[in-house]
Structure 1
Amino acid sequence: MAQRKLFLGARLKRLRRERGLQQSAMAGELGISASYLNHLERNQRPVTAGILLRLAEVFDIDIKGFASDGGDRAGAEQLAEIFSDPMLGDLGVGRSELVELADNNPSVADGITRLYTALRELQRQPPATGGSDPRVLITPETWVRDYIQSQRNHYAELEEGAETLGGALGDPLSVAEPLRRRLKEAYGVETKVVPPESLDQASQAYDPQRRLLMLSSLLRPENRTFGIAYQLSLLEFHPIIMRMLDTARPPDPGSRRLLHMSFANYAAGAIMMPYGKFLRAAEQHRYALDRLCADFGANVEQVAHRFTTLGRPGASGVPFFMLRVDPAGNISKRYAGESFPFSHFGGTCPRWHLHAAFQTPGQTIRQLIETPDGQRFFTISRTIERPIRPDLRDDSLLAIGLGCDVRHAPRIAYSDGLDLLNTPATPVGPACAICPRMQCPYRATPPAGRALAVHENTKTISPYPFMAN
């Protein structure tokens, strides 16, 4: 870094946007003037070593990654996925161009991603039956997922309030009763467990006229606790959540309601597992899921999701990514505290053992994986039970996968006994349509923009052999 000038304007601007800061606010955090920061963002001044160190201290970034020549890897990977679409594949846009675009013009890259997402959502919708259709093209769940990811799934305001409240409630193992009392004493809300028939298809419902929170008797104990914490969050943090919604500016009422629920869910988990206490326990027990479930009265999914929220500057945890899938491979949750090695628009690579978790229910499967660019990740996968089963004959499970860059693996108990340097990693790809691996027997589709190399006299290991570029 000392031998070359670093012009990192686009990365500074993206960092500032991700943290929701104006230039004056970020400049104040860095101890420089707003005009100097403006020069840095416009690449009229190089970033000095002192500013890099201050960035690392204030915003908890990895200096090497921030100042590397690799560019905006996450943004480039999304663009690569988009430009692999057959509609664009004939353009032959190279990875170096995509890296340059993502790194130097992040807003343009975000705009392309948003337009492509809208196109994909439009393709999923049934054709209109007549007349103009004013539907919003990006569905609420897609918009909320992307917004949460843009915030790195961490909300300082909610964390602060939940940590204060959670700490005041006492022992996390017996937090359900204090939560119930808080609802009653502060807001006059009674809590009752009722037969599922009373709630139709709901797992819980709040009647504001009667000031009554009803929880299904089919809910597991930790999910009842979470349900009480969720309702308390809606009431306790109403002003904070309203400000956050106004700042987020959802595009339609459906997206706003879904984001509202997501914020309340986030706060509920933060109440059950207050940030400082949970982070200390996670580091002490080295992210052992079952031990943390026992200490905080939570279930595996709740703890796993909490792992992805530990992004407080100066006090961050391991930056996990997390997915939840059903036996058919449908992804119903996708969070990332840092990088994410799989497709943002499709599914996961079949070589990742997340899918094998259904064959060994209740067991934790660990695996080293390696993406085509050589980045290695340590992952764990296991099945989880659904929070509620409306049909008691339905015993189907879900599975979660957690992972992080391999450099964080020594902090995780599940890596014990595994030679992280010499153990071969399973080669995986982001998705078959954009995976460059040529000899993969698991390939389900040919890669976009590549000529097939099939011949009637030869059968290959991969069902879709293709020509190298």
Structure 2
Amino acid sequence: MQRDQKLYAGVQLRETRTASGLTQKAFAERLGVSLSYLNQMENNHRPVSAAVVLALAREFAFDLSTLRAGEAARMTADLREALADPVFGAVPPMAELQLIASNAPMLARAVLTLHAAHRESRERLASLDEALGRGDSALLPQPWEEVRDFFHYCDNYIDAVDRAAERFSERAGLAGPDQLENGIAWLAAHGIETRRAPSGPLRHFDAQAQVLHLSARAPLPTQAFQLAHQVALIAHGDLIDATLDLARFRTAEARAICRLGLANYFAGAALLPYRRFLEAAREERHDLEVLAERFGASLEQVAHRLSTLQRPGAKGVPFFFVRVDQAGTITKRHSATRLQFARYGGACPLWNVHQAFETPGRFLRQRAETPDGVRYLCLAREITKPGGRFRAPRQRFAICLGCEIGHAGALVYADDLDIGNAAAFEPIGISCRICERTDCHQRAVPPVEKALRIDPDRRDTLPYGIETQS
């Protein structure tokens, strides 16, 4: 059963009132609500209404883009997974976690940081490979984890970078079948020569000679992406640096990793400019192959871009996007939906993304339901990246794009599916150790939150029973 997503923003309301130097009574009058109603909203006992949101913008020039209902949900999911670690003993009730995520987000982030540090320290003791890093890094999250969380809590949408990429795309004619040639012409007009060679790395920029080298072995969408990536570093370095300054990363390594991530973000947004791509996605009903052909992009580029269409005032369908390797390790993840991926480990084995490796070149559709009762339409496909020469290793991944079932009508992939039949939805989870299901035949490890029943005289699908109450 679907549930409406309500907006609780008590922290932002209190901060706005405090910064304005107003009492609760004066603040309530400016917002046009009663004092008791304001008190309930500030304590997250009631959601913020549309009228209050408009009053905040009108009376206090409040940036409405900061009111993201999904952030508290993501943080709640992250807290629940972290606190499922046996070191904490017992997991607080969901209501308490939601209260912390909504009312005390800084405390919630501190708990996640502490747990990440604890986990990192434990893994370093258990694995000699982990000990190859800096001696003091066990006290900090790994740089790549810090960067991952930066994009995670930005909704994977960076407005200033996205808009700059859109403007560049319009000037350079980068969206369409001639994107590579147009990009090369733009670089030439700015004194940079582009050379495409059958050997060498995907991309190498010789700043002194002002020459960009691209691998001719790579598919054309990849070459165009690498060209746009270099444009981001050359022509928009100041914007990227300003964004990095706001992120306040703990280490230079994390900043350097995020710099590449932002350049990748720019490249994707330039090849698939926001307004044109959103309009095309709606027109083509999110047909990935048609969109890939129309914009000269790869299927992975299209699927990933669809998950970033969260511009305030012009949002697309909220998708989740994930990429896994053949071992089931998640290598890319993002969700604008209520489904939040596990921060550590792989994805649920009942999810169709794993089956995609068995049917290369085909789209797999799945109607899935998570333990919280939310239903999704999931679309998975295997992706092979050729090595470019004989005996060169090939990269194989599976990608999955999905949305809550309420948006399925906007997708061509749902046209012949019975989405009204509850029995058609397969049960999936997030991660075995935090999954609430007690009857899953694919469970890999026991759930941390539940007590186990060990009966030496009885064996079922699992070698243990799971208590329905902790």
d(CA) in 1 for partners of 2:338, 2:44: 29
Matched-pair contact (CA < 8 Å) for 1:10–1:106: no
1:179 corresponding residue in structure 2:
183
Amino acid at match of 1:381: A
2:51 corresponding residue in structure 1:
50
Amino acid at match of 2:152: Q
1:264-413 alignment runs, 5 A limit: 264-386=263-385, 388=387, 392-413=391-412
2:220 corresponding residue in structure 1:
221
Q: What secondary structure, in the 3-state scheme, does the structure 2 residue paired with 1:381 have?
A: strand
Q: Check 1:32–1:277 CA distance in 2 against 1; reply closer, same or farther (3 A cut).
A: farther
Q: Does residue 86 of the first structure (1) align with residue 86 of the second (2)?
A: yes
Task: Write out per-residue CA displacement over residues 190-219 of structure 1, whole angstroms, 9 at most, x where no aligned residue.
Answer: 1111233xx3xx321111112111112321
1:98 is displaced (CA, Å) by: 1.9
d(CA) in 2 for partners of 1:192, 1:303: 26
d(CA) in 2 for partners of 1:293, 1:444: 37
Amino acid at match of 1:247: L
Q: Does residue 143 of the first structure (1) align with residue 146 of the second (2)?
A: yes
Q: Check 1:102–1:222 CA distance in 2 against 1; reply closer, same or farther (3 A cut).
A: same
Aligned Cα RMSD in Å? 3.3
d(CA) in 1 for partners of 2:19, 2:297: 40
Show structure 1 runs of 5+ residues with no match.
Answer: 1-5, 25-30
Amino acid at match of 2:427: P
1:93 is displaced (CA, Å) by: 2.6
* TM-score, with length taken from structure 1: 0.85
d(CA) in 2 for partners of 1:318, 1:219: 31
Q: What secondary structure, in the 3-state scheme, does the structure 2 residue paired with 1:311 have?
A: coil
d(CA) in 2 for partners of 1:7, 1:315: 18
2:97 corresponding residue in structure 1:
98
d(CA) in 2 for partners of 1:336, 1:215: 32
Runs of 4+ off more than 6 Å: 38-41, 54-58, 60-63, 128-132
d(CA) in 2 for partners of 1:259, 1:87: 31
Amino acid at match of 1:99: Q
Amino acid at match of 2:180: A
d(CA) in 2 for partners of 1:292, 1:76: 34
Amino acid at match of 2:170: G
Matched-pair contact (CA < 8 Å) for 2:434–2:448: yes
Q: Check 1:428–1:341 CA distance in 2 against 1; reply closer, same or farther (3 A cut).
A: farther
Identity %, equivalent residues: 33
Q: What secondary structure, in the 3-state scheme, does the structure 2 residue paired with 1:262 have?
A: helix
User: Mean alpha-carbon deviation: is it higher for 269-278 or for 76-85?
Assistant: 76-85
Q: Does residue 134 of the first structure (1) align with residue 136 of the second (2)?
A: yes
d(CA) in 2 for partners of 1:456, 1:218: 59
Task: Write out per-residue CA displacement over residues 240-267 of structure 1, whole angstroms, 9 at most, x where no aligned residue.
Answer: 1111111111111111111111111111
Show structure 2 runs of 5+ residues with no match.
Answer: 1-5, 21-28
Task: Write out per-residue CA displacement over residues 330-382 of structure 1, whole angstroms, 9 at most, x where no aligned residue.
Answer: 11111122333432222211111100000000111111111111111111000
1:72 is displaced (CA, Å) by: 3.7
Q: Check 1:391–1:119 CA distance in 2 against 1; reply closer, same or farther (3 A cut).
A: farther
Task: Write out per-residue CA displacement over residues 149-180 of structure 1, whole angstroms, 9 at most, x where no aligned residue.
Answer: 11111112122222122122336110111111
d(CA) in 2 for partners of 1:54, 1:391: 64
Q: Check 1:388–1:132 CA distance in 2 against 1; reply closer, same or farther (3 A cut).
A: closer
Amino acid at match of 2:136: P
Matched-pair contact (CA < 8 Å) for 1:376–1:406: yes
Q: Check 1:434–1:234 CA distance in 2 against 1; reply closer, same or farther (3 A cut).
A: same
